[in-house]
Amino acid sequence: MPSTEEVDLKKELPPGLYGALAGFRLAMRRFLALSEAALAEAEVTSQQYQAMLVIKTADGGRIMMRELSEQMLMQPHGAVQLVDRLSLAGLANRMPSENDRRSVLIGLTPRGEGLLEALARIHVEGLLANQPLLAESLSKLRDLGEIE
């Protein structure tokens, strides 16, 4: 990814590029505002929701701590603290791996499963509500092609 210093600032950008970027950012801001409100009402952080999605999509709905930290782009000790908070909230639990007794797997509790499903529904509805603006903006950006 080029830095702002590496981009040729002398070459003029197509005028439509700015509108496409603004539309995309508006759709994303709308979605993020909806997401933040839904997560706050559920008393779940964005990071906890993301971790629940990662756990849910893992093979068998169970994931090793190392894999969770990798997918969450965090240090292992941060993932441990995140799982501690999910466990304390009754949303996730730890269990010994059947394949490797030294390993611990993280899974969602029934309460975690129910909350994740409710939040996922809200997020899908929010994305679909913004689909026309997202699709139009992305289409414009694709049509403008390379800017370098």
pLDDT digits (tens, 9 = 90+) for 109-136: 999 999 999 999 999 999 999 999 999 9
Residue 4 lies in a domain: no
Establish if 66 belongs to a structural domain: yes
Whether 98 is in a domain gets the answer: yes
Question: Does pLDDT of 146 surpass 80?
Answer: no
In a domain, 5, yes or no: no
pLDDT tens per residue across span 34-48:
999 999 999 999 999
Closest by CA to 91, choosing from 73, 115, 67, 120, is 115
Which residues make Cβ contacts (< 8 Å) with residue 103, sequence separation at least 6? 64, 96, 97
Is residue 99 in some structural domain? yes
Residue 8 in any domain: the answer is no
pLDDT of 51:
98
Q: Residue 9: inside a domain, yes or no?
A: no
pLDDT-based confidence at residue 143 (cuts at 50, 70, 90): confident
**CB 95, CB 62: distance < 8 Å:** yes
- Report residue 75 as tokens: 């240090």
Containing structural domain, residue 136: 15-144
Q: What's the pLDDT tens digit per position in 6-32?
A: 555 557 888 888 999 999 999 999 999
> Helix, strand or coil for residue 92?
strand
CATH of the domain at 136: 1.10.10.10
Record the pTM. 0.83
Encode pLDDT of 63-112 as tens digits: 999 999 999 999 999 999 999 999 999 999 999 888 877 788 999 999 99
pLDDT of the residue at 6: 58
Question: How many structural domains does the chain have?
Answer: 1
